Amino acid sequence: MFDGLKDKLSSFREDVEASTDADEASESEDADEESASGSAAGTAEPADADSPVDAASPDEETDGSADPSTFQRAKAFATGRIIIEEEDLEEPLWDLEMALLESDVEMSVAEQILETVRETMLGESRKQVETTGELVERALHDALLDVIAVGQFDFEERIAEAEKPLTIVFTGVNGVGKTTTIAKLSEWLADRGYSSVLANGDTYRAGANEQIAEHADRLDRDLISHDQGGDPAAVIYDGVEYAAANDVDVVLGDTAGRLHTSDDLMAQLEKIDRVVDPDMTLFVDEAVAGQDAVNRAKEFNEAAEIDGAVLTKADADSSGGAAISVAYVTGKPILFLGTGQGYDDLARFDPEALVDSLLGEE
Ligand SMILES: Nc1nc2c(ncn2[C@@H]2O[C@H](COP(=O)(O)OP(=O)(O)OP(=O)(O)O)[C@@H](O)[C@H]2O)c(=O)[nH]1
């Protein structure tokens, strides 16, 4: 999962290490020369790897013959630390930006990641015990987590605390795995002791009733459906009534992924929102759709505000762009990843675990 992106992040680490290692070599020569000539480096305190490295004070900076940055770097070197400078990062950051964009990370998300990495690393001094690789890893870890973890909440707790029946409506275009996700979530809920009923609000597509009925049969769940062409809001509403009358905990409402026009589809979702007033609306799209999935998430969120997203087919996605971008762009968290075709192939989205796996920490 997300192997392409993982490789690219690893290249970034190597790039920064290579450029700071080159600096270290020349730094060492500079410091030797300056020390020998009794210039700025000679005024630095004796090497002490444990003493904190401060930026050189203005007095110190104007004191010696060397320029401030040379002084600062020489002092850092003398105390066993290295300072990362803008020029060390310029090329690796450019490459990182290209790598993120190639991996379908949305532009604003890529920029945010770069900014955090730059802020974390610039002017950072590191002890010799903390390798540049470790520093880059920390910067990338924080930068990725910042964008990936946007809006996270405890889904299970939300289900537990909600008044029953709880209604969850699923939105998203056709063919991305919406119906399969509903079936998977029904299983996920059953595993945690919650009963659920399926309601087919996709009254537009021929065959939609049969498709969801197959899942309902296999899982032994009740299904509420109307004839093709019926009012989707009415179907989901019936689902809620059925659940209330039969003590069912959760209503899982499917919706159409395509109508005559995109405007019709959005108007229909708005109507469902108004009539049913669902407790949660989850947007479903496929991780493999990359930027398209990100754009659709924005569009659907505008029509019927979503509470979170599910990215399917993560098992087949190498780029990871959608997984990284959707939460930041919509302000709503990714809650689950679809990881295969089986009913158990639904994993709670764990931002920390994803970042660790992208950085090869697990
Ligand atoms: N590999 C993989 N395949 C998946 C996953 N989720 C769904 N699929 C497959 O994707 C295909 C489409 O899934 P559906 O559930 O029919 O998609 P849908 O969005 O409901 O599509 P419509 O019913 O046409 O609106 C099916 O073959 C699913 O088995 C997943 O997480 N991983």
> Is residue 339 within 8 Å of 181, Cβ to Cβ?
no
Closest listed residue to residue 314, CA positions, set 296, 338, 291: 338
Residue nearest to atom 6 of ligand 1 (CA): 177
Q: What is the pLDDT of residues 287-307, one digit of tens each?
A: 999 999 999 999 999 888 999
Instruction: Output the pTM of the full model.
Output: 0.83
Range with the lowest mean pLDDT among 44-58, 94-108, 319-333, 339-353? 44-58
- What tokens does 324 get? 């990284």
Pick the CATH number of 3-148 from 1.20.120.140, 3.40.50.800, 4.10.80.40, 1.10.3720.10: 1.20.120.140
Is pLDDT of 339 > 90?
yes
The domains of the chain are located at 3-148, 155-350
What is the Å distance from ligand 1's center to 312 Cα?
8
The residue-averaged pLDDT of 23-32 equals 54
Query: Which of 47-51, 117-121, 202-206 is predicted least confidently?
Result: 47-51
Q: Whole-angstrom Cα distance, residue 238 to residue 167? A: 11
> Which fold would CATH assign to domain 155-350?
Rossmann fold (3.40.50)
Higher local confidence (pLDDT), 46 or 343: 343
CA of 113 to the centre of ligand 1 (A): 31
Q: What is the ipTM of this complex?
A: 0.95
In three-state secondary structure terms, 257 is: coil
Q: How many CA atoms lie within 13 A of 155 on its CB side?
A: 23
Measured in Å, residue 117 CA sits from the centre of ligand 1 at 36
Residue (of 54, 120, 116, 117) closest to 81 by Cα position: 54
